[in-house]
Amino acid sequence: MGKRIGNQTIQMDLKPSIEFTTSVVGPKEGAGPLSEYFDIILTDDTNGQDSFEKAESSMMNRAIVETISKAQLEDKEVNYIFGGDLLNQLTASHFAIRDIDIPFFGLYGACSTMTESLSLASLMVEAGFAVNAIATTSSHFSSSERQFRFPLEYGAQRKVTSQWTVTGSGAMLVSNKKTKGKPVVTFITTGKVKDYDITDVNNMGAAMVPAAVDTLKAHFEDTGKNPSDYDLIATGDLGSVGGDLMVKLMKEYGYDISKNYIDCGDQIFIKDNTVCAGGSGCGCSAVVDCGYIYKEMLKKKFKKVLLMSTGALMSTTSSLQGESIPGIAHAVALEME
Amino acid sequence: MGKRIGNQTIQMDLKPSIEFTTSVVGPKEGAGPLSEYFDIILTDDTNGQDSFEKAESSMMNRAIVETISKAQLEDKEVNYIFGGDLLNQLTASHFAIRDIDIPFFGLYGACSTMTESLSLASLMVEAGFAVNAIATTSSHFSSSERQFRFPLEYGAQRKVTSQWTVTGSGAMLVSNKKTKGKPVVTFITTGKVKDYDITDVNNMGAAMVPAAVDTLKAHFEDTGKNPSDYDLIATGDLGSVGGDLMVKLMKEYGYDISKNYIDCGDQIFIKDNTVCAGGSGCGCSAVVDCGYIYKEMLKKKFKKVLLMSTGALMSTTSSLQGESIPGIAHAVALEME
């Protein structure tokens, strides 16, 4: 049975496996450098629905249904879904799963939701409370722009530090089955809300870095590990600006992550003046983790990986009221045994 | 160690205790029939803050800090906070805990969040992943009206089925300490998202009833219990309209809950033409559970209680797009040993 080590970490003993994953992405993501790793690439970012919000729900529904189907399970054999998204009141998730007959825990950690859901799904399986659990999340560029920023038709100018919300959804099936050749979950480090008084909503990467640094430091301190113990350390969506800052700040604390660090948001798109500093959104780390990283783990290119999705915790109301942007990051360590 | 029974339920073995609770309410709730049970009654619903959103955060912060202080614990002795609220992107919770040095899992289950957070906090303690964990949630009448409905100044007319969002926050400390004379958690039944095509946002009680019925039936089927095994079955915020429907529907399924059933939203206010069908919001079941029910359990008026907060899972965008209102309900059974 898993146990607490240090202040923020659970060391797994059973070590649940990630049996299957599914990634569903939009056309722009599907045309990016990680194209070959995605399971389903939409040709139309509305996915045949009559709103971007419904499109987002349909992507998450497909990611979940496809994952359960790959595992040849029925709904009743999956004990929980842990999931969430960026839309107000998690409507993308709720409408995605209303026809799926599985108990649901709704989560909100902004773009940290993939590792938040993976943490809780893994802990429930580790404890024996679940045999199989789904961890999922989604985001959609156009539903996010409408909700958080401006109508697309307005054509607002973007800053060099702006990021482009990923249209995509990922789902993982965490299980006590532990099929040989599948990655297992070894450590869960849960993050705290960190607020360093950053108020620029066009530089969310920088707003999330202090939380990512805090969680990564806690992970190393709790486990006694150091950066070279991992083949890959992958933050969720700090983008190129936040990613550079992450490496610099970790160095100041005595950890050199420059050799094995990537940011999912920095990898997913072809760089141009639309995506600016890179990808963001819950869907960003979801599809890069479920696609590129998971599939390269199966091939043993990466044997030890630390996933750390990162969330910027503001709303349009909090920003209008002059509040700063707190951040949070949750880390999950995976290993090919 | 706790184990799965039936399809949706965990039967606890350790049975974590609820060591302390704190309820903070606004003036209207403080003038209601449950007045004597609340720990802190604000004299001003802005709590001295310059926005209703900041007021809500300050209430939740106070509920958490007060609960930890009652237990004479330091932040580092509390392993997790599970919490959420109704505001977009959970800003009430994030700003409430940004100065509290405890790992955080953000949850969204609309008004079901009190039993969602209590479920996960209890499961983490049961599994030994936490020694102490906080479960918390909040809502605020004026921040909710601004976000979900109309500006207060507009003076929109209310329907007889309308409910009044409770201004309040509750926090519970779940612990493996099991001090004699404190209630323990015995069963956790996790709900599914249920959508029965109800679209009237002024009748959320009715929208949530199918989910509440589904979870309560699952609880009885999984545990082999029946209504008479409980002194009290308390839904979160179905109000008087939804509560009546709940009793009727359960009867159709062969369960008579008429003798020991209450709805928190039906209890908290003096009935008048402002509150109409009763209270709602995450804060409703939070303060009634943390105040009235918990305190009457300590006095052994109630020895076996089933708490079941209920959530209506719509957003303003989903309603404008013509979507129906799915619901969800999570049940937690408590017992005085």
For residues A114 and A260, membership in a common domain is answered with no
Q: Among the three residues B149, B175, B201, which one is the final residue of a domain in this structure?
A: B175
For residues B78 and B111, membership in a common domain is answered with yes
For residues B288 and B169, membership in a common domain is answered with no
| Nearest-neighbour CA in chain A from B322: distance (Å) | 11
Q: How confident is the model at residue B177 (pLDDT cuts 50, 70, 90)?
A: very high
Q: How confident is the model at residue A202 (pLDDT cuts 50, 70, 90)?
A: confident
Q: What is the pLDDT of residues B73-109, one digit of tens each?
A: 999 999 999 999 999 999 999 999 999 999 999 999 9
Task: Give me the mean pLDDT over the B301-311 stretch.
Answer: 98
pLDDT of residue A131: 98
Rounded to whole angstroms, the Cα distance separating A149 from A86 reads 13
For residues B269 and B194, membership in a common domain is answered with yes
For this complex, say whether ipTM is above 0.95: yes
Q: Among the three residues A175, A199, A214, which one is the final residue of a domain in this structure?
A: A175
The lowest-confidence range among A199-203, B109-113, B299-303, B312-316 is A199-203
For residues A125 and A198, membership in a common domain is answered with no
pLDDT of residue B4: 97
- Residue B134 forms part of a structural domain: yes
Does residue A204 have a pLDDT over 90? no
| Nearest-neighbour CA in chain A from B53: distance (Å) | 8
pLDDT of residue B191: 98
CA triplet B21, B23, B27: central angle to 5 degrees?
A: 170
For residues A161 and A199, membership in a common domain is answered with no
Contacts of B36 (CB under 8 A, 6+ apart): none
| Nearest-neighbour CA in chain A from B35: distance (Å) | 30
pLDDT of residue B206: 83
pLDDT of residue B270: 95
Q: Count CB-CB contacts under 10 A for residue A6.
A: 15
- Residue B180 forms part of a structural domain: no
Average confidence score pLDDT of chain A: 96
Query: Which domain does A277 fall in, by range?
Result: 184-335
Q: Among the three residues B175, B198, B223, which one is the final residue of a domain in this structure?
A: B175
For residues A269 and A234, membership in a common domain is answered with yes
Tell me which residue in B76, B84, B127 faces A123 most closely, judged by beta carbons. Answer: B127
- Residue B110 forms part of a structural domain: yes
Residues 298..337 of A with a Cβ closer than 8 Å to B: which?
A: 313-318, 321, 323, 326, 328
Closest-CA residue in chain B for A193? B98
DSSP 3-state assignment of B36? Answer: helix
Task: Give me the mean pLDDT over the B8-23 stretch.
Answer: 98
For residues A24 and A165, membership in a common domain is answered with yes
Q: How confident is the model at residue B32 (pLDDT cuts 50, 70, 90)?
A: very high
pLDDT of residue B154: 84
Task: Give me the mean pLDDT over the A23-51 stretch.
Answer: 97
Question: Domain with A120 in it: what CATH number?
Answer: 3.40.47.40
Does residue B203 have a pLDDT over 90? no
Beta bridge partners of A104: A81
Q: Do B323 and A91 touch (CB under 8 A)?
A: yes
Does residue B205 have a pLDDT over 90? no
Does residue B140 have a pLDDT over 90? yes
Domain count, chain A: 2
Tell me which residue in A123, A126, A128 faces B3 most closely, judged by beta carbons. Answer: A128
Task: Give me the mean pLDDT over the B5-14 stretch.
Answer: 97
Q: Do A317 and B88 touch (CB under 8 A)?
A: yes
Tokens 């950066």 -> residue: A227
Q: How confident is the model at residue B150 (pLDDT cuts 50, 70, 90)?
A: confident
For residues A8 and A150, membership in a common domain is answered with yes
Task: Give me the mean pLDDT over the A103-121 stretch.
Answer: 98
Does residue B193 have a pLDDT over 90? yes
Q: What is the pLDDT of residues B223-260, one digit of tens each?
A: 999 999 999 999 999 999 999 999 999 999 999 999 99
Q: Determine contact: A129 vs chain B, CB below 8 A.
A: yes
Instruction: Residue A88: list chain B partners with CB under 8 A.
Output: 88-89, 315-317
For residues B121 and B233, membership in a common domain is answered with no
Average confidence score pLDDT of chain B: 96
Instruction: Residue B107: list chain A partners with CB under 8 A.
Output: 105-108
Q: Which of B104, B170, B133 is nearest to A109 (CA)?
A: B104
Q: How confident is the model at residue A82 (pLDDT cuts 50, 70, 90)?
A: very high
For residues B83 and B216, membership in a common domain is answered with no
The lowest-confidence range among A16-30, A311-325, B55-69 is A311-325
Q: Do B90 and A123 touch (CB under 8 A)?
A: no
Helix boundaries (H) for chain B? 27-30, 52-70, 91-97, 113-126, 141-148, 204-223, 239-252, 264-267, 282-288, 294-298, 316-320
Are B208 and B110 in contact, with CB atoms under 8 Å apart?
A: no
pLDDT of residue B323: 93
Q: Do B127 and A1 touch (CB under 8 A)?
A: yes
